[in-house]
């Protein structure tokens, strides 16, 4: 018997955001994996998603993510997370402030045969903006951050 969708969803988030075990992610996603976030309008494949996450870890080296809830129905999962960290270098148009930020994210996942096919993350952009006191554009170009 394979892992439950709840276990797959939680483990994927932990591997990416808590442990940085990017080399294991292909075991958790389909070949046609797609990622979308409120930080950018572009849909990313797995390699681009990994580069995107690395940008977060480089800009927020003390980043801590706590999974609050994992809800599953059929082939869908929702993961509610709280992210805490200090921005130490510019990223996605946000300047370093030295302030400790706390914000939430909701990730929805569409599963297929025990793997994640689609991951869509909604970040509390208004909460981030209130803390940094700077508008954030959701169409900030991600291309400069992706390895060629």
pLDDT of residue 98: 83
Domain count for the chain, please give it: 1
Rounded CA separation 78/107 (Å): 6
We report the CATH number of the domain holding residue 136 as 3.10.450.50
What residues make up the domain containing 104?
5-145
Averages of pLDDT over runs of 10 residues in the chain (148 residues) are 83 93 94 90 92 91 95 95 92 82 95 96 84 64 59
CA distances 134 to 96, 98, 130, Å, are 11, 14, 8
CA dihedral for 117, 122, 123, 125, sign (positive or negative): positive
């Amino acid at each position: 018997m394979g892992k439950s969708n709840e276990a797959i969803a939680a483990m994927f988030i932990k591997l990416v955001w808590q442990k940085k075990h990017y080399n294991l992610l292909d075991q958790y996603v389909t070949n046609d994996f797609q990622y979308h976030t409120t930080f950018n309008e572009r849909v990313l494949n797995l390699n681009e998603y990994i580069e995107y996450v690395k940008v977060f870890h480089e800009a927020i080296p003390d980043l801590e993510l706590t999974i609050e809830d994992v809800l599953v129905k059929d082939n869908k999962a929702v993961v509610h997370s709280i992210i805490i960290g200090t921005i130490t270098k510019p990223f996605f148009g946000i300047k370093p402030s030295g302030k400790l930020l706390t914000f939430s994210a909701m990730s929805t996942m569409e599963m297929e045969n025990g793997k994640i096919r689609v991951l869509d993350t909604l970040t509390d952009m208004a909460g981030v903006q209130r803390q940094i006191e700077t508008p954030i554009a959701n169409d900030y170009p991600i291309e400069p951050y992706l390895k060629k």
